[in-house]
Amino acid sequence: MLLAISIIVYILVIAIIIMFLKGASYKNKKEKYVIEQYFKMKKY
């Protein structure tokens, strides 16, 4: 039972990491843009 739970958790972690790596480039671009806009707004 415990082994099955640990395997499921392991698979979920790998899936999340793969999704993060696939979406990272797009997400980073969007976050960078949002942060830049935020700093521009703070300056004025």
Q: Please give the tally of structural domains in the chain.
A: 1
Read off the pTM: 0.46
What distance in Å separates the CA atoms of residue 2 and residue 5, rounded to the nearest whole number?
A: 5
Residue pointed to by tokens 């671009």: 29
Query: What range does the domain containing 36 cover?
Result: 1-44
pLDDT in tens, the chain (44 residues): 789 999 999 999 999 888 887 776 666 677 778 878 888 877 65
- The reported pLDDT for the residue numbered 33 is 81
Q: Is 28 exposed, middle or buried (0-12, 13-18, 19+ CB in 10 A)?
A: exposed
